[in-house]
Structure formats: C-alpha cells, structure tokens
Structure 1
Amino acid sequence: MNIRITIDGTPVDATLNDSPAARDFAAQLPLNLNLTDFHGNEKIADLPRGLSTSGAPSGVHPRTGDLAYYAPWGNLALFYRDGSPSAGKDLIILGHMPEGATKQLADNAEVDVTIEDAS
C-alpha cells in the first residue's frame, strides 16, 4: 500500500508491507501525529489504538527509513538512523520511506506529521 507522510509540510511517499500489523495501521489512516525523538535514531508517537501482532516475525533489525510498531508501548516509530536489533516479537516493521526523506526527522527534536493513504 502506498502512503504519504507529510513531515512539517513536506510530503514524502512511502509504502506499507502486507503484514497484519501494516493493514491494521492503514485502517487508522489518516493520522495527525506529533513525533518526538527517542534514542537519537527514531521519532515516536502513540497510536490511537494497538495494532495486530499476528504473524509478526521474531527479531528484526530496523534500518534508516523503516516505519515500525513497538507493541509493548503501542507506538509508531520512524527510523532516521539504523536501530538496534530486536530479538523478540515486540518491534514490527510496517513499511519503508526513502532514506533521503529522513533528514527532516533527524534535524528536529519534534515534528508534526500527517500520514494518509496515497493509493
């Protein structure tokens, strides 16, 4: 699924994978979120409701540009730098945005985003 993430007014095209969590995330769109920095490699925000973790792989290594769901906290994470590997089923990759689009995320402590279906 194609989505558009507007970061402080700048639109960025991204894609979601076909996982149950990504489909559940897409059902919540459009979303307006205020993302805050976490660990110097990702921006996070709480989602209105949790996502399905059905069929989630065990262990992922988030990369720059990944959109992910952190199940224990129920939040969305947009990675602007590579993240640490996760051994369990707690971090679920939902999709990806182009690496060049992550500069705005890295340059600001907080960013406002709108995420919507771009199909």
Structure 2
Amino acid sequence: MNIRVTLDGQPVDATLNDSPAARDLASLLPLTVGLKDFHGTERIGDPPRKLTTDGAPEPAAAKAGDIAYYAPWGNLALFYEDGPAASVDLLVLGHIDADPAQIGGADRITVETAS
C-alpha cells in the first residue's frame, strides 16, 4: 500500500506491506506522531493504540528506512540506521524512501493514505 508520509513537513514516498499489523496501522490513518531518538538507530513514537500482532511475519532485522512496530511497547519506529538482529517483537511494516539523515533528524511524522 502506498502511503503519503511527511517528516517535519517534508513529503517523502513510503509503502506499507500487507501484514495484519500494517493494515491495522492503515486503519488509523491519517495519523501524526511525535518522534524521539532511541539508541542512535531509530526515531520512535506512540500511535493512539497498540496494533494487532496476529499473523505476524517471520522476524527480520530492520534496515535504514524501515517503518516498524515494537509490540511490547506498542510504538512505531523509523530506522535511520540498520537495526539490531531480528527480534520476534519487532515487526517491519513498510519502508520510507528518504535519506537516513532526514529520518534521523525528524521530530514529527504524519502518515496518510496516498491519493
């Protein structure tokens, strides 16, 4: 699913995969989330509720540009550096086609359905 993402007011192309968690995120759109840095690899923020983890795909290590969901905390993560080894608790939901430095410096993300 193509989505429209803005990072601090700058539009970038992005897609969500077809996982149940990504579809659940899409059901919340439009959505604006404040972001903070986490471990020097990702920007994280909280959606208004936890997403479903039913039918979660096999764990995969997040790569720079990935949109992910960390199930135990219920937060979204935008990776600007490659993440740690695969974790059953981290679900990759999609990918943002943006410069890693733009993702790493973002304080706010807005996600909408593409027109």
Structure 1 residue 59 displacement after superposition: 2.4
Give the distance between the partners of 2:74 and 2:42, measured in 1 at CA. Answer: 15
> Which one of the candidate residues 80, 86, 102 is aligned to 1:104?
102
Quick one: which amino acid aligns to residue 57 of structure 2? P
SS of equivalent residue, structure 1 residue 23: helix
Structure 2 unaligned regions, length at least 5: none
Moved over 3 A (4+): none
Structure 1 unaligned regions, length at least 5: none
Does the CA-based 8 Å contact 1:43-1:78 persist in structure 2?
yes
Matched, 1:70 2:66: no
The match for 1:27 is 27
Does the CA-based 8 Å contact 1:44-1:78 persist in structure 2?
yes
Give the distance between the partners of 1:42 and 1:87, measured in 2 at CA. Answer: 15
Structure 1 residue 40 displacement after superposition: 0.3
Does the CA-based 8 Å contact 2:44-2:75 persist in structure 1?
yes
Count of aligned pairs: 115
The match for 2:2 is 2
Does the CA-based 8 Å contact 2:65-2:103 persist in structure 1?
no
Give the distance between the partners of 2:47 and 2:36, measured in 1 at CA. Answer: 13
The match for 1:114 is 110
SS of equivalent residue, structure 1 residue 97: strand
SS of equivalent residue, structure 2 residue 13: strand
Pairing of 1:52-63 with structure 2 (within 5 A):
52-63=52-63
Give the distance between the partners of 1:20 and 1:13, measured in 2 at CA. Answer: 21
Give the distance between the partners of 2:87 and 2:114, measured in 1 at CA. Answer: 32
Aligned Cα root-mean-square deviation (Å): 1.3
TM-score for the superposition, normalised by structure 2: 0.93
Give the distance between the partners of 1:13 and 1:113, measured in 2 at CA. Answer: 13
Does the CA-based 8 Å contact 1:34-1:111 persist in structure 2?
yes
